């Protein structure tokens, strides 16, 4: 039986989150009000999100590839393990949110061409082409001190600050993996991404800086303090209608940059604490946040009069249990 994870909220204030991950922090940085709606109250769009679902299926399938290759399996054996897992997951990838929907159903509900770029056919092709691209990879999966492969590594580390009620603030989440370069010996956090746009230098510039990459670089050094962990390897797959392309770039992060980001996280988490204690989330609304990434799921909310927002939320969004990064995989 899977254990129920502890609540990420303080016992002293149900609106005060002490467990943070890169996603919730990034949302808070963009717009504290959107953070409040999604990560405190638990509201989310009732529309499926093809990019997130497709990424979830691909990540889970490639986890099987990593484990099989580390266990000494051949390319074909590892590929079959990834395909079997991916196709099984594609039958119902979001059972809690969209029961009965397949990966193809969710893709077809998205933007134009999502059905061809983020459906099960694309997923299968991506896995097959990935196996060809990285059969003789320069990077190998790291073994953790426990002897387990460093694949889908769940973490929860104290940030050195506490809530007013005595709980340690934590940075939590899940790393896609830790990998070591076979010849050069450096260890990196591996972060897999997919995109439907053309890969190029500009794509990787989007991660310099980036909340997730900054945070994962810090965590990489915390997870393996005795290793020469030097940043994040962003491994990207371009999903087109009839082909896939792959590229990767090592986003290097120094110890000084990591220490600086730790202080940035602490500062903004204390900002969120002040808002949770005062309840003045509306005063903290950032209008520019509605322009980032197409406005996110709450673009329509921020243009509504405050007097009708509560009703609009109840009518157009679904309230669920807020995201809990303490739910270890």
Mean of the per-residue pLDDT values of the chain: 91
- Cβ 178 vs Cβ 220: under 8 Å: yes
- The candidate with the shortest Cα–Cα distance to 124, out of 58, 59, 68, is 58
The predicted pLDDT at position 208 comes to 92
Most confident of 84-93, 215-224, 304-313: 84-93
Q: Which of 75-84, 125-134, 204-213, 287-296 is least confident? A: 287-296
pLDDT digits (tens, 9 = 90+) for 34-61: 999 999 999 988 888 899 999 999 999 9
The predicted pLDDT at position 64 comes to 96
In the predicted model, is pLDDT for residue 126 greater than 70?
yes
d(CA 141, CA 168): 31
Most confident of 19-23, 44-48, 221-225: 19-23
In the predicted model, is pLDDT for residue 294 greater than 70?
no
State mean pLDDT over 169-193: 93
Query: What is the set of domains in the chain, with CATH numbers?
Result: 16-39+139-275 (3.90.320), 47-136 (no CATH)
State mean pLDDT over 111-139: 94
In the predicted model, is pLDDT for residue 1 greater than 80?
no
pTM (2 d.p.):
0.90
Name every residue whose Cβ is closer than 8 Å to that of residue 250 and which is 6 or more positions away in sequence. 188, 230, 231, 232, 233, 234
The predicted pLDDT at position 241 comes to 94
The H or E element spanning position 293 is: none
The predicted pLDDT at position 146 comes to 83
pLDDT digits (tens, 9 = 90+) for 130-168: 999 999 999 999 888 788 889 988 999 999 999 999 999
> Confidence class of residue 186 from pLDDT cuts 50, 70 and 90?
confident
pLDDT digits (tens, 9 = 90+) for 60-109: 999 999 999 999 999 999 999 999 999 999 999 999 889 999 999 999 98
d(CA 271, CA 284): 10
> Confidence class of residue 292 from pLDDT cuts 50, 70 and 90?
low
Most confident of 15-24, 27-36, 91-100: 15-24
309 φ, ψ (degrees, to nearest 5)? -65, -40
Residue 247's Cβ-count burial label (10 Å; 0-12, 13-18, 19+) is middle
């Amino acid at each position: 039986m899977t254990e129920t994870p502890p609540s990420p909220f303080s016992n002293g204030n149900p609106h005060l989150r002490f467990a943070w991950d890169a996603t919730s922090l990034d949302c808070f940085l963009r717009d504290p009000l959107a953070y409040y709606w999604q990560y405190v109250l638990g509201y989310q769009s009732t529309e499926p999100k093809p990019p997130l679902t497709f990424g979830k299926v691909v990540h889970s399938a490639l986890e099987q590839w990593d484990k099989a290759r580390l266990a000494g399996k051949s390319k074909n054996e590892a590929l079959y393990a990834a395909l079997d897992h991916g196709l099984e997951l594609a039958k119902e990838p979001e059972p809690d949110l969209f029961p009965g929907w397949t990966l193809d159903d969710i893709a077809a509900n998205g933007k134009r061409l999502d059905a061809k770029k983020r459906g099960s056919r694309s997923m299968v092709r991506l896995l097959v082409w990935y196996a060809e691209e990285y059969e003789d990879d320069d990077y190998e999966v790291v073994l953790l001190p426990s002897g387990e492969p460093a694949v889908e590594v769940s973490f929860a580390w104290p940030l050195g600050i506490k809530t007013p009620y005595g709980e340690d603030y934590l940075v939590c989440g899940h790393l896609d993996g830790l990998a070591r370069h076979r010849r050069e010996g450096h260890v990196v956090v591996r972060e897999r991404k997919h995109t439907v746009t053309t890969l190029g230098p500009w794509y990787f510039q989007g991660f310099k800086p980036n909340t997730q990459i900054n945070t994962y670089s810090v965590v990489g050094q915390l997870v393996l303090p005795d290793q020469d962990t030097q940043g994040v390897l962003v491994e990207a797959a371009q999903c087109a209608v009839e082909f896939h392309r792959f590229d990767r770039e090592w986003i290097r992060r120094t110890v000084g940059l990591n220490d600086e980001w730790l202080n940035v996280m602490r500062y903004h988490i204390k900002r969120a604490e002040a808002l949770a204690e005062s309840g003045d989330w509306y005063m903290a609304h950032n209008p520019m946040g509605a322009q980032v990434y197409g406005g996110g799921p709450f673009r329509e909310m921020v243009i509504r009069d405050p007097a009708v927002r509560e009703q609009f939320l109840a009518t157009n969004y679904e309230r669920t249990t807020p995201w809990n990064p303490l739910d270890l995989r």
